[in-house]
Structure 1
Amino acid sequence: MAKENQPTGMAHSALTVETTVTGNISASTDIRIDGILQGNLDCQGKVIIGEQGRVQGDIKAVNAEIMGTVCGNIVVADTLVLKSSSFLEGNITVTTLVIEPNAHLNGQCSMRTFQQ
């Protein structure tokens, strides 16, 4: 008997470990990067960069959580979380910023309220 796939309401895309994408990505739902992205990422949801994830390009999202490495600028309309394992080389524009101890940030931060 075949098992039906039930939607969980948590649709997201993923770039898995040992996968490299060269080019820009545009996502209308949440996305998790555990591989390597060499290009810009524009997401209308939440971006998660896993501990092994690497992004060489700019990120634009509603929310973001960084555990890996980003070399590029980040614009987040709501909350950006830099976990203790994160390394960010670039400028940030954000409404709310959370930085855990031992997170690395090399760049400037501009905090503002985004208009919807």
Structure 2
Amino acid sequence: MNKVDPLENQYINRLQLFLYLVPVVGFFPALWTLYRREGNKEQLAVSRLAVTLAIAWLSAYTLLGTGAQVSEIFTLRLLIINSLLTSGYFIVCLSLMVQLLQGKSVRLPGFSSFAERVVRRHL
């Protein structure tokens, strides 16, 4: 009987966590993990964080884009804020990926606890 190498499982686990943190695309596997309620504690925590980040970014992106279309005076300002918000979302996701690769804890101060409270209640 072949035994599974524990290092291989650790590699697969880290790869899944890395996938969850991919901007925009990682939302779907993270949501699927939360929906099934399968995975270890770290996978569920990173999934909650990824889903919360993506929903917050998408909500703000939609509101700023709508505001830019409706407003005549603040159009350029809202579009600039929208682009800064999107850049920030991508930078945060990339920095979380780097933290994961370095073996550090994948948490954002304040935002991770918010994700734990909100997403755990609704999913």
TM-score, length-normalised on structure 2? Answer: 0.24
TM-score, length-normalised on structure 1? Answer: 0.25
Greater RCO (Cα-Cα under 8 Å, separation 6 or more): 2
More strand by percentage: 1
From the CA coordinates, give the structure whose radius of gyration is larger.
2
